[in-house]
Amino acid sequence: MEFTCNEAVPLIGAYLDGELSEPRAALLRKHLLECHLCRNATQDGKSLKRWFAPAKAVAEAPLVSAVPNGFAARVARRAFAGDTGDRSAPFTLQPRTSDGRVLAFIVAATAVAAAIALVLALVARGTVQPTGTHLSADDRTPVSLTQIQSELEKLNQGSAPAPLEQR
């Protein structure tokens, strides 16, 4: 069996990569001895590899320092906190304890905090009640509707304008 050029050319890359099985490599070598066009294609493959070797060396050099300090520890913490890395869904805290103790603690702590806040609000409301007896601009004493009506009536009686004379 012998290779044609169309059979040989696609195998040259694998041959240079050392990935061709020995029977196929032997057939390719035989073809290369007889075909200068395919020998040129082999030289092309070698030239191409020379573009990658320096690029690989240059790319690798700065990457050791490109990894931020503490990266691995941060990723491990996030992983164990329940971050799945799936950015199509928002990250939510998922307790990893099987009995849900962490979740129960968070709910209980929130309830206690809310109760304390309510008590403090009630106490604070009681302390700001004004104690004076007269109305002033900054007096926040609640005034009833009856009191307002009474004040208005007094004002009307004392300074009511005279009725217009009819012509």
In this chain, which of 26, 33, 34, 48 binds other proteins, going by CB under 8 A?
48
Distance (Å, whole) CA 122 – CA 129: 12
For the CB of residue 93, give the shortest distance to other proteins in the complex, in Å: 14
Rg (CA), the chain: 45
Total residues contacting other proteins by CB under 8 A comes to: 48
Q: In terms of DSSP H, where are the helices of the chain?
A: 5-8, 12-16, 22-34, 36-60, 63-66, 71-80, 101-127, 145-159
The residue among 52 and 117 lying less far from other proteins, judged by its C-beta, is 52
Handedness of CA 139, 144, 145, 151 (dihedral sign): negative
**Interface pick for other proteins out of 26, 33, 93, 96 (rule CB under 8 A):** 96
The contact set with other proteins (CB under 8 A) reads 6, 9-11, 13-14, 17, 19, 40, 43-52, 54-60, 63-64, 66-68, 71-80, 83-88, 96
